[in-house]
Amino acid sequence: MNLLTIDKLTAGYGKLTILHDLSLKVEKGQYLGILGPNGSGKSTLVKSIFGLTDIFSGSIKISGQELVGVATENICKRGLAYVPQRQNIFATMTVRDNLLLAVRHLRRPKAHRALQDAYALFPILAERQQQSAGLMSGGERQMLAIALAWLGKPQIMLLDEPSAGLSPLFVIEIFKLLRRLCESGITLVVVEQNARSLLRWCDYAYVLREGKLAFEGSSSQILADEETVKSYLGVGGTAFSQRIAE
Ligand SMILES: Nc1ncnc2c1ncn2[C@@H]1O[C@H](COP(=O)(O)OP(=O)(O)OP(=O)(O)O)[C@@H](O)[C@H]1O
Ligand SMILES: [Mg+2]
């Protein structure tokens, strides 16, 4: 069953069109990757789902319900959570206060339980509760950002480059954690430049190039067919092709 369906989406910023006639679908329970070189429109795609771009035509539906034209806060209420590429935590607040903010709509006992659940899933956050979030390492911050989204009990989580700038060990930690979230029933859409790492963990991926869909397939299909991916990405895809060949 398709949870999220994007059909012929054309979107951008002001008069600028970035995404051209893009169609994709996300099945319930799937771990989906969005790959492509710098500037290919990966973040624009995720932002479009959350109503943060200008949509010129096409549709974006969750469980058959249209999201185009719906305000971002109401999109979140429909079970979508977004972990942006940058500025995804409140750096001047403690870790605990960040988490409390994510459960502010709950009564005290429920909020307390939700925090305990988050600490069980993200033990590092329990250790760092009283620490200012801005003083944590990149990987710890990313854990916090994912926990903040997770506390909203989303059906589907969209993450924009969760492994960017992290040490190789933390990259693995993040991907393992995401796999666990997926196994717990959350559908994942993960944007990555680090194609090879993501393809080891996700089920299926779409490759963007210049705002258009260049290629799609299961992770094993894509990994086994690097030449095809390279030719689809062409010259503009050098960085991506190199990464996939690493
Ligand atoms: N707010 C904006 N206003 C105008 N143009 C923008 C804006 N944000 C992004 N763009 C442009 O849209 C294009 C696609 O950018 P986008 O951030 O979606 O790419 P990306 O695939 O996420 O790249 P990266 O891998 O570097 O994160 C780029 O040409 C970029 O300059
Ligand atoms: Mg981006």
pLDDT for 246? 43
pLDDT for 113? 95
- Alpha-carbon dihedral angle through residues 108, 75, 195, 29, given to the nearest 10 degrees: 70
Domain boundaries along the sequence of the chain: 2-79+154-173+184-245, 92-152
pLDDT for 245? 44
Residues with CB under 6 A from ligand 1: 13, 16, 18, 36, 38-44, 193
Give average pLDDT by consecutive 10-residue segment, the chain, 246 residues. Answer: 94 97 96 93 96 97 95 92 90 96 92 95 94 93 95 95 88 91 95 85 93 92 74 44 46
**The model's pTM:** 0.90
Residue to probe by mutation, ligand 1, list 42, 54, 192, most atoms within 8 Å of CB: 42
Question: How many other C-beta atoms lie within 10 A of the C-beta of residue 77?
Answer: 11
pLDDT for 231? 59
Q: How far is the CA of 18 from the centre of ligand 1 (A)?
A: 8
State the CATH architecture for 2-79+154-173+184-245: 3-Layer(aba) Sandwich (3.40)
pLDDT for 232? 53
pLDDT for 217? 92
pLDDT for 164? 87
pLDDT for 235? 35
Q: List all residues 6 or more positions away from 230 whose beta carbon is below 8 Å from its beta carbon.
A: 237, 241, 244
Q: How far is the CA of 240 from the centre of ligand 1 (A)?
A: 16
Handedness of CA 232, 40, 25, 170 (dihedral sign): positive
Ligand in closest contact with the CA of 41: 1
CA gap 31, 137 in Å, rounded: 26
